[in-house]
Amino acid sequence: MDIQVSPRRADSISVSDAVVAAHRVIEESGLDYVLHPMGTCIEGEPRQLYDVAARIHAVLAEMGYARIGVTLKVDDRRDKVQHMRDKIEVVERKLRG
């Protein structure tokens, strides 16, 4: 799952505090993840992933954000076991040609 948080608060346009809070939730989950400039990719079972997203949303609400945007992209491949790193390796191998 790729998750991006876009909360809004009247006193600041920065979201770095929210990203830090979200990452604490992700780290506490014990799931594998990769932080990237526009969000975070997290690997796990669907139930685990949705639980993490719900917890992130709750933490941001507790922090006082008046508006909380959360974007999720889920890739649930069922025909074979594939990890985040596998998808990257396939593309890198093809780039090397």
pLDDT in tens, 20-63: 999 999 999 999 999 999 999 999 999 999 999 999 999 999 99
Average pLDDT across the chain, whole number: 94
Question: Where are the chain's structural domains?
Answer: 2-96
Task: Please say if the pLDDT value at position 77 is more than 90.
Answer: no
pLDDT at 30: 98
pTM over 0.75: yes
2-96, which class in CATH? alpha beta
Please give the structure tokens belonging to residue 51. 């639980």
d(C-alpha 84, C-alpha 65), whole Å:
31
pLDDT at 25: 98
Does residue 41 contact residue 7 with C-beta atoms inside 8 Å? no
pLDDT at 11: 82
